[in-house]
């Protein structure tokens, strides 16, 4: 019934703002969400957007303690219509309540950027980063709590804790580095003063091919200077480092582990990517992982989309590291490789589901029997599929179904077994008790339930 109502609403003209006020006054929160779930804010004048946002935010606040999933959905729509401090607070609160920590962090960062005088955002972001074992990031956030705000006392207490953890992390890193140097025959202990939120020092330089580099034990970042002056380079490198740290910590949080060996990250402008990889690929992809390197298209500005692409491609680097650590064996199915990367990217963007419009396309394809089969996506690049977006999303939903059946470590163990030569179907039955055909049916069933 809900799906039918949503389909009807999606096909209708955008509802007037007055409808939002009426639904809110009746506390018809589900109808309110469905009425504006697919509405484009740009289709309304500013006063109407403000009115709709207020109504949606009221629903978020009303349901925050009883139905956090619907509350989050209402809050998310509210801040799209008008970004307000109360709206972002409700989104962050309900995202945390529904275990969407990536979405909560994004809302808190957005609130801190646009409403810096509200101490709530810096305080809660610091608390979240401290829980995520990122004390340096927590310190940066907590230091932005206004001294005279109601949150300042709590921020000071957390700041002391974060500084203690950061100190312990630096000492542990220094000790580990001293041990590594001894194994290499050099007893000198390196300085840890040039540390980032990852707790690892970066060194900058220029490669033989003229590219700027910044490297540590996890990443080797490369990009062309593009006539940036020194200040611009320093800021750009700092932003790249922060984005890579996010990718590392997010992947480790979702999968329970990350890549141990360093990976090259090559950042191109759109023109550079077109020159090096061709116009067709430049139009088709935001990035790729090839020849042991993450290659990002149009990385001149590191926006949310670029950061999500970094996460996606970093997952490929993690899986490649698992493969490299094993004896030569058969390839992991393409749909599993791409599906896991897409799923972790969705989680970074705040959900384990595809965007609404893509979700509707998936359900339509499932009903019409046009959903791509996993068995047909085992050995072929998904970008070459008839509908690449649906192929990637179908693969990600299959991965989501596996993760709902067991922990990420179970899935990574399966991938290791396949990399060591176990046939995929055998490994799938051994670890999950199902076949690829069973998993295809589970994907269709999952789409039918929504």
Confidence of residue 346 (pLDDT cuts 50, 70, 90): very high
Pick the range with the lowest mean pLDDT from 46-50, 128-132, 339-343: 128-132
Residue 4 has pLDDT above 60, yes or no: no
Residues of the chain with pLDDT > 90, as a percent, come to: 32
Residue 341 has pLDDT above 90, yes or no: yes
State the residue for tokens 């809050």: 75
Residue 1 has pLDDT above 60, yes or no: no
Confidence of residue 327 (pLDDT cuts 50, 70, 90): low
Mean pLDDT within 400-408: 89
Work out the mean pLDDT of the chain and round it to a whole number: 82
Question: In the chain, helix, strand, coil percent, each to 5?
Answer: 65, 5, 30
- CATH 1.25.40.10 in the chain, residue ranges: 2-165
Higher pLDDT: 172 or 376? It is 376
pLDDT of 244: 85
pLDDT of 343: 96
Q: pLDDT tens-digit profile of 63-111?
A: 999 988 889 889 989 999 999 999 999 999 998 888 777 778 888 999 9
pLDDT of 436: 94
- C-alpha–C-alpha distance, residues 248 and 278, integer Å: 29
pLDDT of 5: 46
Confidence of residue 402 (pLDDT cuts 50, 70, 90): very high
Mean pLDDT within 176-201: 41
pLDDT of 10: 43
- CATH 3.40.30 in the chain, residue ranges: 195-325
Residue 227's Cβ-count burial label (10 Å; 0-12, 13-18, 19+) is exposed
Mean pLDDT within 23-49: 89
Residue 234 has pLDDT above 80, yes or no: no
Confidence of residue 231 (pLDDT cuts 50, 70, 90): low
The continuous run of DSSP H or E covering 280 comes out as helix 279-284
**C-alpha closest to that of 132 among 168, 165, 167:** 165
Mean pLDDT within 177-201: 41
- C-alpha–C-alpha distance, residues 27 and 55, integer Å: 10
pLDDT of 101: 79
pLDDT of 328: 53
Residue 219's Cβ-count burial label (10 Å; 0-12, 13-18, 19+) is buried
CATH architecture of 195-325: 3-Layer(aba) Sandwich (3.40)
- Whole-structure pTM over 0.75, yes or no? no
Mean pLDDT within 370-393: 89
pLDDT of 208: 64
- C-alpha–C-alpha distance, residues 447 and 450, integer Å: 6
Confidence of residue 56 (pLDDT cuts 50, 70, 90): very high
Residue 166 has pLDDT above 60, yes or no: yes
Assigned token pair, 160: 């002391």
Higher pLDDT: 260 or 264? It is 264
Residue 313's Cβ-count burial label (10 Å; 0-12, 13-18, 19+) is buried
Residue range 2-165, CATH number: 1.25.40.10
Pick the range with the lowest mean pLDDT from 56-70, 177-191, 279-293, 312-326: 177-191
- C-alpha–C-alpha distance, residues 90 and 295, integer Å: 36
């Amino acid at each position: 019934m809900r799906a039918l109502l949503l389909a009807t609403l999606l096909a209708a003209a955008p509802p007037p703002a007055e409808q939002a006020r009426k639904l809110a006054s009746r506390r018809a929160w589900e109808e309110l969400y469905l009425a504006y779930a697919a509405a484009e804010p740009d289709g309304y004048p500013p006063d109407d957007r403000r009115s709709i946002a207020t109504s949606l935010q009221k629903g978020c606040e009303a349901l925050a303690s009883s139905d956090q999933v619907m509350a989050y959905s209402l809050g998310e729509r509210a801040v799209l219509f008008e970004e307000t401090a109360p709206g972002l607070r409700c989104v962050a609160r309900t995202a945390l309540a529904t275990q969407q920590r990536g979405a909560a962090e994004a809302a808190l960062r957005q609130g801190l950027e646009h409403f810096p005088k509200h101490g709530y955002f810096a305080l809660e972001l610091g608390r979240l980063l401290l829980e995520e074992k990122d004390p340096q990031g927590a310190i940066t956030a907590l230091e932005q709590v206004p001294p005279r705000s109601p949150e300042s006392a709590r921020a000071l207490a957390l700041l002391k804790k974060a500084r203690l953890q950061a100190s312990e992390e630096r000492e542990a890193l220094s000790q580990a580095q001293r041990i590594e140097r001894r194994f290499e025959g050099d007893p000198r202990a390196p300085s840890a003063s040039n540390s980032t939120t990852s707790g690892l020092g970066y060194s900058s330089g220029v490669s033989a091919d003229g590219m700027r580099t910044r490297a540590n034990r996890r990443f080797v970042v490369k990009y062309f200077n593009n006539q940036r002056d020194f200040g611009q380079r320093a800021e750009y490198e700092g932003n790249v480092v922060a984005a890579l740290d996010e990718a590392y910590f997010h992947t480790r949080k979702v999968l329970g582990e990350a890549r141990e060996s360093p990976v090259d990250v090559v950042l191109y402008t759109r023109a550079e990517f077109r020159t090096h990889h061709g116009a067709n690929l430049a139009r088709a992809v935001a990035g790729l992982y090839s020849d042991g390197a993450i290659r990002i298209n149009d990385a001149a500005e590191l926006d949310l989309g670029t950061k999500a692409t970094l996460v996606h491609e970093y997952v490929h680097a993690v899986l490649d590291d698992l493969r490299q650590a094993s004896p030569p064996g058969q390839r992991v199915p393409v749909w599993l490789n791409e599906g896991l990367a897409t799923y972790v990217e969705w989680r970074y963007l705040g959900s384990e589901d595809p965007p609404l419009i893509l979700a509707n396309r998936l359900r339509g394809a499932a009903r019409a029997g046009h959903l791509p089969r996993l068995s047909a996506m085992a050995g072929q690049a998904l970008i070459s599929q008839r509908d690449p977006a649906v192929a990637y999303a179908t693969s990600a939903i299959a991965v989501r179904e596996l993760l709902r059946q067991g922990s990420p470590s179970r899935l990574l163990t399966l991938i290791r077994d396949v990399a060591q030569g176990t046939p995929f179907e055998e490994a799938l039955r051994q670890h999950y008790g199902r076949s690829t055909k069973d998993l295809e049916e589970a994907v269709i069933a999952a789409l039918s339930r929504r």
